[in-house]
Chains A and B, each alone.
Chain A
Amino acid sequence: MDITQYFTDYTLRTITLGTAVLGAICGMLGSFAVLRKESLLGDAISHAALPGIAIAFLITGAKDTNVLLLGALVSGLIGTWWIRGIVSKTHLKTDTALGLILSLFFGFGMLLLTYIQKQPNANQAGLDKYLFGQAATLVESDVILMSIVTGVSLLVLLLFWKEFKLLLFDKDYAMTLGFNTKFIDGLISFFIVLAIVIGLQTVGVVLMSAMLLAPAAAARQWTNSLSVMVLLAAIFGMFSGVFGTAISASQTNLSTGPVIVLVASVFVAVSFIFSPGRGILFKQIRLIRNRRELELQKTLYFMYSIVKNHDDISRPHAIRILNNFQGFTKNTLSQLEQKNWITIQGANWSLTDDGFKKASNLYTTNLPES
């Protein structure tokens, strides 16, 4: 397989474009899902969409993608609405509500699918591709539909940017300013459901939640700004789609959906470890550096406490009176000397003027002046 295939091979080009667009829209809208602490809503909704697909097929009897996705959209929205209802009207918690809707809708969908399979309608084969997704079945019209949906949601996102942002971070304030929070809330939920439904055909119900979450969770680690996060998440999602498709195309027997999800997971893992601000690696490095700094200060302060009772601050003292307990190691000693806070002569050390001044201000610099 080489690069030119992306431009010459119709199937590969369509799938790559499709997964890239899907990754972008999922990353974009997934950012909101993650920040609203509704990460698993995507999982519930993607499962809840299944009966909609089956019912749409039962009513129309045709396997038109758009009609089936419309059915999925409706049943996904009903699921979302019901989850909200359970959480707000009963004492059941969010996790229970999500699990309920997820499993009940999915089970009902399975009942309908198996019922359809028994029907004498030759058209029904292939409905189960929505279960696990088959990127290979993407055709140009699907990609165009995805692009349109992405465009519309981008437009709405830009139009309502201020409102979405306000609602996300301070709902009460948004309400007091007179924004119709119910409408804005519904709007963003609607677009999240829409993104999920669009992705069903490509990655399937089970893996859809990861498509929504992973790019956003990765992007969150690199920035504290919403606009940058949304942009980064879209880029991460897009690259997961492109790389995932490329990897699965290079091998036989590798289904696209799972590979895309694994690529997205790699993005998450890398971000968790290597992001400069929040990453585990740099956090650990900072921790160690701070600890060293503290040890150094401890040694210096101990020296200061010995020296301050003498008239002559530069009088030498033996090194062996220092010990580990005051954070003393050979390393700290040489560092202190490097900073010109002490001088070492043989087995003795003495504090310099600089070091004395530093040590006497060590624990008072942060105190308010009195």
Chain B
Amino acid sequence: MNPSIEIQMIAAVTAAACAIPGVFLVLRKMALISDAISHSILPGIVIGFMITQDLASPLLILLAAFSGIITVILVEMIQKTGLVKEDTAIGLVFPALFSIGVILIAQNANDVHLDVDAVLLGELAFAPFDRFYINDTDIGPKALWTISVILLITISLMLAFYKELKLSTFDVGLSSALGFSPVILHYGLMSVASVTTVAAFDAVGAILVVALMITPAAAAYLLTTDLKKMLVLSILFGVSSAIGGYWLARLLDASISGSITTVLGLLFLGIYFFAPSKGLIAVLLRQNRQRKEVSLLTFLLHLNNHDSTEERGVAHLQEHINWRRVRAKSVLDLAVQNNMITIENQVVSLTRKGLEFTEKALEYIITNKDEKIEDMKDDFFLFRG
């Protein structure tokens, strides 16, 4: 296999391995724990490296993952004292552990051929050089094997505990009432996240791990609310950005992990803007429509209250409700389009349909059932705002 394909495979498998725990982290509102873990594994890596002298050894991965778990435990301990909030606890723990790691590296610079840059940023381009041999036969890069094994473990764990994970993610109370310990699931998920982070940092660096965990899940969450679809979509997003990022890096001759992140960022930006119902544009349009429809309702209620012709003059209404010209016109147009009002000689009057709509809405408002107005709109409106 040539190195180019190998790099893409490592990147793609890493992306898939990160996407799965990422979905659950995002849904459990613990996205930042991945950031904390990715930093605080540093002392574990340094100590492990001093013992094993090999970045890809399983012992090192376990030691580093263990320091990730310690982070989680420390954060929870601090949080339990009630002295500070959870986010402050996270923010206090990981820089301290990271500092210890940096100092350890600096103190043992002669024994530890580790670079903080390499840990944080990784260098995928060098990953294929570290080969894995069985009986002197070259069977591919070590990083690919490590991350593939972790991906397999993650997938089988997820399949085995899918039901429990889903339940405890969306309803902690019910899941503990049914006898699934939230604590075990929590630490299980944290262990998977830690191990994945450690295995991935070697190839792609700590920061990209965070990007690979959170971004695909967040993008998928904007498109669907079905957990299975969300998992599939985020794996898809992760893998495609990994491969896209590789080619961007070749084009620009720049860091592969940096360009994978950039592709992920562009992907998220696109989905953030254009997601059908939860994207920025859709949300803004909906808010705008709602605002206009509320204005329409206010306007109709006002009409309903005033019978005299001078109160219902177009110019007077503009003054009375204190709308600007453009807004007043757009509301009037909407009302006419929907046959709610008629305008004769600059005097506005409610039609029968408009009267019916207004009275029904008024009733809902008086009886505190505002949400029903939304359903009613579907029955009455030919054109929405």
Q: Interface of A with B (CB < 8 Å)?
A: 34, 37-40, 42-43, 47, 85-86, 89-93, 95-96, 98-100, 102-115, 118, 128, 131-132, 206-207, 209-210, 213-214, 217, 220-221, 253-255, 257-259, 261-262, 265, 268, 272, 278, 280
Q: Which residue of B lies closest to A88 (CB)?
A: B283
| B268 CB-CB contact with A under 8 Å | yes
Contact between A96 and B99 (Cβ–Cβ < 8 Å)? Answer: no
| B228 CB-CB contact with A under 8 Å | no
The 5 listed contacts between A and B (C-beta, < 8 Å) are A89-B284, A95-B87, A96-B221, A108-B265, A209-B91
Interface residues of B in 25-67 (CB under 8 A from A): 26, 29-32, 34-35, 39
| B260 CB-CB contact with A under 8 Å | yes
Q: Hey, which chain A residues are within 8 Å of B210, CB to CB?
A: 99, 102-103
6 closest A-B pairs by CB: A107-B261, A210-B95, A111-B258, A258-B99, A103-B211, A110-B258
Contact between B26 and A96 (Cβ–Cβ < 8 Å)? Answer: yes
For the complex formed, measure the closest distance between the CB of B134 and the CB atoms of chain A, giving whole angstroms: 35
Contact between B106 and A103 (Cβ–Cβ < 8 Å)? Answer: no
Complex Cα distance A118/B249, Å?
12
Contact between B81 and A115 (Cβ–Cβ < 8 Å)? Answer: no
Q: Hey, which chain B residues are within 8 Å of A40, CB to CB?
A: 32, 87, 90-91
Contact between A206 and B83 (Cβ–Cβ < 8 Å)? Answer: no
| B143 CB-CB contact with A under 8 Å | no
- B35 CB contact (under 8 Å) in A39, A43, A254, A259: A43
| B111 CB-CB contact with A under 8 Å | no
List the one stretch of B114-122, B171-179, B320-328, B332-340 in contact with chain A. Answer: B114-122
Contact between B117 and A207 (Cβ–Cβ < 8 Å)? Answer: no
Complex Cα distance A39/B87, Å?
6
Complex Cα distance A253/B104, Å?
10
Contact between B31 and A39 (Cβ–Cβ < 8 Å)? Answer: no
For the complex formed, measure the closest distance between the CB of B65 and the CB atoms of chain A, giving whole angstroms: 20
| B185 CB-CB contact with A under 8 Å | no
Contact between B283 and A103 (Cβ–Cβ < 8 Å)? Answer: no
| B137 CB-CB contact with A under 8 Å | no
For the complex formed, measure the closest distance between the CB of A99 and the CB atoms of chain B, giving whole angstroms: 4
Contact between B211 and A91 (Cβ–Cβ < 8 Å)? Answer: no
Q: Hey, which chain B residues are within 8 Å of A85, CB to CB?
A: 280
Contact between A220 and B84 (Cβ–Cβ < 8 Å)? Answer: yes
Q: Hey, which chain B residues are within 8 Å of A214, CB to CB?
A: 92, 95
CB 8 Å contact bits of B227-246 with A (1 = contact, 0 = none): 00000000000000000000
Contact between B222 and A92 (Cβ–Cβ < 8 Å)? Answer: yes
Complex Cα distance A89/B98, Å?
34
Beyond A213-B88, A261-B96, is A100–B222 a contact (Cβ under 8 Å)?
no
| B315 CB-CB contact with A under 8 Å | no
Complex Cα distance A272/B84, Å?
9
Complex Cα distance A255/B260, Å?
31
CB 8 Å contact bits of B182-211 with A (1 = contact, 0 = none): 000000000000000000000000011011
| B343 CB-CB contact with A under 8 Å | no
Q: Hey, which chain A residues are within 8 Å of B103, CB to CB?
A: 254-255, 258-259, 262
Among B95, B107, B265, B268: residue with most chain A CB under 10 A: B95
Q: Which residue of A lies closest to B121 (CB)?
A: A110
Contact between A217 and B88 (Cβ–Cβ < 8 Å)? Answer: yes
Complex Cα distance A255/B88, Å?
25
Contact between A110 and B218 (Cβ–Cβ < 8 Å)? Answer: no
Count of B residues near A, CB < 8 Å?
Answer: 63
Among B103, B215, B280: residue with most chain A CB under 10 A: B103
For the complex formed, measure the closest distance between the CB of B213 and the CB atoms of chain A, giving whole angstroms: 8
Contact between B215 and A100 (Cβ–Cβ < 8 Å)? Answer: yes
Contact between A262 and B106 (Cβ–Cβ < 8 Å)? Answer: no
For the complex formed, measure the closest distance between the CB of A110 and the CB atoms of chain B, giving whole angstroms: 4
| B264 CB-CB contact with A under 8 Å | yes
Complex Cα distance A14/B68, Å?
37
Q: Hey, which chain A residues are within 8 Å of B211, CB to CB?
A: 103-104, 106-107
Contact between A110 and B96 (Cβ–Cβ < 8 Å)? Answer: no
Q: Hey, which chain A residues are within 8 Å of B96, CB to CB?
A: 210, 261-262, 265
| B16 CB-CB contact with A under 8 Å | no
For the complex formed, measure the closest distance between the CB of A31 and the CB atoms of chain B, giving whole angstroms: 12
Contact between B31 and A95 (Cβ–Cβ < 8 Å)? Answer: yes
For the complex formed, measure the closest distance between the CB of A198 and the CB atoms of chain B, giving whole angstroms: 17
Q: Which residue of B lies closest to A263 (CB)?
A: B99
| B102 CB-CB contact with A under 8 Å | yes
Q: Which residue of B lies closest to A47 (CB)?
A: B207
Contact between A90 and B29 (Cβ–Cβ < 8 Å)? Answer: no
- A110 CB contact (under 8 Å) in B88, B98, B261: B261
Contact between B92 and A111 (Cβ–Cβ < 8 Å)? Answer: no
| B253 CB-CB contact with A under 8 Å | yes
Q: Hey, which chain B residues are within 8 Å of A206, CB to CB?
A: 39, 95, 98, 120
Given A92-B26, A128-B117, 12 other A-B residues pairs in contact with their CB atoms under 8 A: A85-B280, A100-B214, A100-B268, A105-B265, A107-B262, A110-B121, A110-B258, A112-B258, A115-B252, A206-B98, A214-B92, A262-B99
For the complex formed, measure the closest distance between the CB of A36 and the CB atoms of chain B, giving whole angstroms: 11
Among B90, B100, B214, B280: residue with most chain A CB under 10 A: B214
Contact between B87 and A37 (Cβ–Cβ < 8 Å)? Answer: yes
Among B39, B99, B211, B257: residue with most chain A CB under 10 A: B99
- B102 CB contact (under 8 Å) in A42, A103, A132: A132
Beyond A34-B88, A37-B85, A99-B34, is A104–B39 a contact (Cβ under 8 Å)?
no
Contact between A43 and B91 (Cβ–Cβ < 8 Å)? Answer: yes
Beyond A206-B39, A261-B95, is A111–B259 a contact (Cβ under 8 Å)?
yes
| B299 CB-CB contact with A under 8 Å | no
